[in-house]
Structure 1
Amino acid sequence: MSYENLTPPEKKPQRGTFTKYWIIFLSAICSNIFVVFLSIGALFYHLYQKIAGIETNKVKDNSTPNFTPRQPYKNIKKMKATDDLRYYALQLELDLQEYKVTTEDGFILTLHRLINPKDTDIERQHKHPILLQHGLLSCSGAYLTSGYNSIAYYLVESGYDVWMGNNRSWFETKHAFLEGNLMHNEQYWDWDVRELAYYDLPCLIENVLSHKPNHSQLTLTGHSQGCTQSFLMLKNGNLGEIHKKINLMVCLAPAIFPGSLFHYRSFIKFMHSLGPTSFKIVFGTCSFLPNLTSIRHLLFSTRIFGSMSYMMFKYLFGWNGSKWGNDHRLWHRHFIFNVSYVSTKLMNWWLSDWVEEGFSNQLQPKAAYLNGDHCAFTPVNSAADAASARLSFIEAENEAREQEIEVKEKDDSKTYFPYKQPWFGVDERSTTVPMLIFTGQLDFLVDGDRLSTHMRHYERQAYSESSNLTIVELDDHSHLDVVWAEDVIGRIGYVMTDKLAALYGENAPEKVKVEGDANVENENEKEEEKNSPTP
């Protein structure tokens, strides 16, 4: 099998000075207009929901039979709204170590390690390492800002050595040998998801293990794009030596196939329809919408930043905070660690029609999501499977006929993840890494059902649910709920630590059972009780 399309190409030379700055000038104007229109749309959409009574901000009871959410911090009222991630760790009586690591192509990445300061170095060395990798436009902070309810905190208290990676650029531009103003350096920004899979992730994995002389493997956890780059890395047989260093891949809302939201959001359809020249004029050739990151740098500590971020996320993706807790100050802290720098070329891969191997070119027809054809499969096992599949197909066909909709499966043969072709176990250099996959049934940004069906029916050579594949469908989770929801410990964390306990056997840490606020004093309620009038 050829892996040429998974290997990053040589970087293109920069354009001439006049052409480069003319594009910068045009894109600065156009991208600002684009952001203004989105902001106005988000504001009016929010006001409409308020007036119509749709926006109630009603938070669900996120307790589960085996888990009750804790207060996220001891006293969030007194906490600063800061972009210093170590500050949040200290609020949890933990600490954060920061390392600068350099990729093979010269990008300087930020790697975080969340530690319990009470542990000795020797104790820390013997803990099993877990690397958490963030999604698009996000960073390592996504795994920690939920405080005592965060997956990062839970893994630390469960006895694991928790590391959190950041892809290239993060909130600052750094490179080992490119000099000058990197924000306007086209070679610096000449990368997409291939570089994240080929350079960034292996660099982070190897640097984590370089600090773990007692361990030859780690557990890799990804959210959204963190899963995309992980799947690409695991698919590439040229990186077989890296595959051997991963004992389990945990996937949170993996962004492998696009969801039906791509049919309904105008901004996605607008960006998808732009040709190479138009996209370049609107968004430039360097950083994608750097104005958003600049606004974040200026306003992150203000309430208006938190409010506008929520309105924008809701308008663009249809998300709400019903699972994030009832304190909007916590939501604000979540948003602070978003809109990191990414390249325009990366967004081309995610959204552009003219990028044949791109993510959005795997989108199935709208009708396919209505009748279930988006995750239909060709049975390969038994006559019973064939009969069941045929019946499902007939029912879907009748439903489509009733709606007078013609459903045709889209050709995805040129994309990185062809649906009906196996991706893993096809090269002797590769190692099949066990997977634990969590999909959200309210996640319409990515298509978890299509991925689940692919893994179950087209990866049978490498994966089996009886041995090295576990798929968990979360019925009430959307794309961000898998990292921000109050119940991620009960719904995701417990499953992870059970899986790791089975993996490590007697060497696994003793399981921690979280019981509401038993370990966290709710100072807010105490203070309010103290100040309330006596009946």
Structure 2
Amino acid sequence: MIIDFLQEVISTLILNSFLAGLFILSLWHNYITVHFKKKHDPRDIRKASTTIHRHDHEGKTHALSQQTTRRGTRASVSSRSPLNIEINEENNIEYDHTISVITTGDTMERVDRNDNGNINNNDNGNVNNHINSNPFDDVLAMEDKKLVPSLKYYYNQYNIDIEEYQVETDDGFIIDLWHFVPLNMTIQEKEKTYNEKYPILMVHGLLQSSGSFASCGRKSLAYYMYESGFDVWLGNNRCGFNPKWNIDKLKKFYGKESKLKFKKWDWDINEMIKYDIKSFIEFILDKKPNFDKLTLMSHSQGTTQAFMGLVNGPIIYNGENKSEDDDNENVEGFSLLDKLDNYVALAPAIYPGPLLNEKIFVRLMGAGIDSPWIFGKKSFIPLMMQMRNVFVGSKPFSFLSYVMFNYLFDWNDMLWDKSLRDRNFLFSPVNISVKLMQWWLSPDPTKNSFKYGADKIFPPEKTWFPISSKSNVNEDEGTNTDGTKPFRSPLHLNKTRNGSEFFPRIMLFIPKQDRLVDGEKLINHFINHEDKSLYKIWYIDEYSHLDVLWAYDVIDRIGKPILDNMRLPYDMSE
């Protein structure tokens, strides 16, 4: 149609101008503005928008700082300096107060700071007493500095091959699933990989691929999990680098062939949960006959997918045909709750943070995202992928990707290994739909977007994972010893189960410096409305949104705690 054609042309002109303006402002910010706003610590250290607090039995709130905590240290594999840890056992939270600084020559140091952010002067002011010698320095020196947009290229150097599967979803999309296996795998190694190794699935964030879990090579979470004896799978959501569809299945789903060019992009996070996550898990478990569950680890948008599947699964997977009176949550099939032993959420995107309202480009994007004359109806800013296809693998492409992310979200590479920074941006961006960005940013109340409708999607005052041993509105457990009624939360959608072992073990890694999302609000939900036997929370003072993937000490602060707290169907040491 003529209108569709005009919308495509006009939106292309507008978006190209938008991207050019963003590009210029990013460079200006990186080279000019920062020199006039120099800070001792370049991280964003503004306070979070939400205060962490705990309800008492009357429903009154109290700051966690008023509760008893235990201070201590934890050994480090990336530094001679231990981690500075504070533990709140009552609420199952571990506060990581470790702070790193950079001195001359980009040497990374750890120092201890007090509650006001000042360095504790325990060594007569000699900060050099805190210098760590990074045991990974030799590993970094061995890393290939070439920029090649292929995980296989790097991982073959570690004697790891990557099997590339194409998985077809129920609605006709072909999605990529990558699998770590020994290089030149023997029959015995193949049998061990598929029959004995416990599976972990990793799912990426917005505009990224799951290469983000592996791009740091020997210092990545994917490599660490593989070397720790797990069967590592990297799942990539629909469209990715090269969109692929089963046209015949699309026709059955959507009807007229004339509309297929738009239907190929007529999806948002709901389809990514209902079809993509489900397809990954079913494919992996079909390959693993000795396992009926796996561990899911996801970052940012991937956590939104997972929590929507876990919290709202009865509606998402079973649809409107499910009766509220049914005791069986699996009346019509798939249940994400029953496919996971553990769920690991890195920088969980459950509630929007203040940055979505602070950044003018993000506000402008939200204001125009619903207009087909501005953003079109299909792929979101296709020029991004056109530029990637031409320039990926060059230093300018990786550098410009970094400065644009830095400008948009105030993230920086202070905690990253500089020699690996450019490699990290080889595996983004990816194709996404305009409809997906509408789900994130749309001001239209009928679309129930993340920015304006997160409280409806994830009701913060309701219990998501009810356990029968705890009081709730469906169980009258009388009064407290002082005669007061216990503080109780209404239930959301999941049925009450008999113990925490019937739910996945949930591990939350929340960066304090992350203003893109409101991690503190999620902490408040768990400590006030969920049984503490279900979860553990790590609140990391100096981490930001991408540091949970790419920080120099991510193995210390993310990898090891995951291994120490996973629920496994067998003893990995055997």
Choose from 211, 219, 227 the match for 1:157.
227
Choose from 203, 210, 213 the match for 1:143.
213
Contact in 2 for aligned 1:145/1:333 (Cα 8 Å): yes
Tell me what 2:273 maps to: 197
Aligned AA for 1:319?
W
Aligned AA for 2:448?
E
Between the aligned partners of 2:135 and 2:258, the Cα distance in structure 1 is 43
Contact in 1 for aligned 2:199/2:230 (Cα 8 Å): yes
Shifted more, 241-250 versus 473-482: the winner is 241-250
Give me the TM-score of the superposition, normalised by structure 1: 0.75
Tell me what 2:571 maps to: 507
* Residue aligned with 2:418, SS: coil
Contact in 1 for aligned 2:415/2:547 (Cα 8 Å): yes
Contact in 1 for aligned 2:369/2:438 (Cα 8 Å): no
Tell me what 1:227 maps to: 303
CA gap of 1:173–1:425, structure 2 versus 1, over 3 A, is: same
CA gap of 1:340–1:87, structure 2 versus 1, over 3 A, is: same
Between the aligned partners of 2:571 and 2:462, the Cα distance in structure 1 is 40
Give me the TM-score of the superposition, normalised by structure 2: 0.70
Between the aligned partners of 2:403 and 2:386, the Cα distance in structure 1 is 18
Tell me what 2:378 maps to: 286
Aligned AA for 1:19?
I
Matches within 5 A, 1:249-268: 249-268=343-362
Aligned AA for 2:526?
M
* Residue aligned with 1:507, SS: coil
* Residue aligned with 2:435, SS: helix
Q: Which has the higher helix share?
A: 1
Contact in 1 for aligned 2:513/2:544 (Cα 8 Å): yes
Q: Tell me the number of residue pairs that the alignment of Structure 1 and Structure 2 aligns.
A: 440
Are 2:438 and 1:361 equivalent residues in the alignment? no
Choose from 121, 127, 131 the match for 2:201.
131
CA gap of 1:22–1:468, structure 2 versus 1, over 3 A, is: same
The alignment-based identity, stated in percent, is: 33
Aligned AA for 1:202?
K
Between the aligned partners of 1:228 and 1:182, the Cα distance in structure 2 is 33
CA gap of 1:245–1:123, structure 2 versus 1, over 3 A, is: same
CA gap of 1:289–1:382, structure 2 versus 1, over 3 A, is: farther
Aligned-residue offset at 1:75: 4.9
Aligned-residue offset at 1:433: 2.4
Contact in 1 for aligned 2:369/2:375 (Cα 8 Å): no
Contact in 2 for aligned 1:96/1:113 (Cα 8 Å): yes
Tell me what 1:61 maps to: 108
Aligned AA for 2:295?
T
Between the aligned partners of 1:422 and 1:41, the Cα distance in structure 2 is 47
Aligned AA for 1:86?
K
CA offset digits 1:406-437 (Å, max 9, x no partner): xxxxxxxxxxxxxx875453478x96322111
Aligned AA for 1:237?
P
Aligned-residue offset at 1:223: 0.4
CA gap of 1:214–1:62, structure 2 versus 1, over 3 A, is: farther
Choose from 324, 328, 335 the match for 1:242.
335
Aligned-residue offset at 1:24: 0.9
Tell me what 2:423 maps to: 333
CA offset digits 1:333-384 (Å, max 9, x no partner): 11111110000000001011115411111589xxxxxxxxxx9999x99899
Matches within 5 A, 1:11-90: 17-52=1-36, 54=38, 58=102, 61=108, 68=134, 70-71=136-137, 75=141, 78-90=144-156
Are 2:537 and 1:471 equivalent residues in the alignment? yes
Tell me what 2:553 maps to: 487
CA gap of 1:482–1:77, structure 2 versus 1, over 3 A, is: closer
Aligned AA for 2:340?
I
Contact in 1 for aligned 2:375/2:434 (Cα 8 Å): yes
Root-mean-square deviation (CA, aligned residues, Å) is 3.4
CA offset digits 1:300-346 (Å, max 9, x no partner): 1212112211110110000000111132xx11111111110000000
Between the aligned partners of 2:503 and 2:570, the Cα distance in structure 1 is 24
Contact in 2 for aligned 1:425/1:432 (Cα 8 Å): no
Aligned AA for 2:572?
A
Between the aligned partners of 1:341 and 1:78, the Cα distance in structure 2 is 28
Between the aligned partners of 2:138 and 2:515, the Cα distance in structure 1 is 27
Contact in 1 for aligned 2:149/2:392 (Cα 8 Å): yes
Contact in 2 for aligned 1:224/1:255 (Cα 8 Å): yes
Contact in 2 for aligned 1:376/1:453 (Cα 8 Å): no
Between the aligned partners of 2:403 and 2:108, the Cα distance in structure 1 is 23
Between the aligned partners of 2:439 and 2:525, the Cα distance in structure 1 is 21
Runs of 5+ unmatched residues, structure 1:
1-16, 365-374, 390-419, 511-535
CA offset digits 1:207-244 (Å, max 9, x no partner): 11111011111001110010101111112115343321
* Residue aligned with 1:96, SS: strand
Aligned-residue offset at 1:93: 2.4
CA gap of 1:349–1:506, structure 2 versus 1, over 3 A, is: closer
Between the aligned partners of 1:332 and 1:271, the Cα distance in structure 2 is 27
Aligned AA for 1:344?
V
Between the aligned partners of 2:389 and 2:480, the Cα distance in structure 1 is 58
Between the aligned partners of 2:167 and 2:461, the Cα distance in structure 1 is 43
Aligned AA for 2:452?
N
Aligned AA for 2:192?
E
Choose from 356, 367, 391 the match for 1:273.
367
Shifted more, 63-72 versus 127-136: the winner is 63-72
Choose from 378, 394, 402 the match for 1:302.
394
Between the aligned partners of 1:246 and 1:217, the Cα distance in structure 2 is 5
Between the aligned partners of 1:60 and 1:201, the Cα distance in structure 2 is 41
Choose from 214, 220, 238 the match for 2:290.
214
Between the aligned partners of 2:138 and 2:168, the Cα distance in structure 1 is 34
* Residue aligned with 1:349, SS: helix
Aligned-residue offset at 1:67: 11
CA gap of 1:313–1:111, structure 2 versus 1, over 3 A, is: same
Choose from 79, 102, 110 the match for 2:176.
110
CA gap of 1:203–1:182, structure 2 versus 1, over 3 A, is: farther
Runs of 5+ unmatched residues, structure 2:
43-101, 112-129, 318-329, 464-471, 473-478
Aligned AA for 2:558?
I
Aligned AA for 2:344?
V
Between the aligned partners of 1:353 and 1:91, the Cα distance in structure 2 is 48
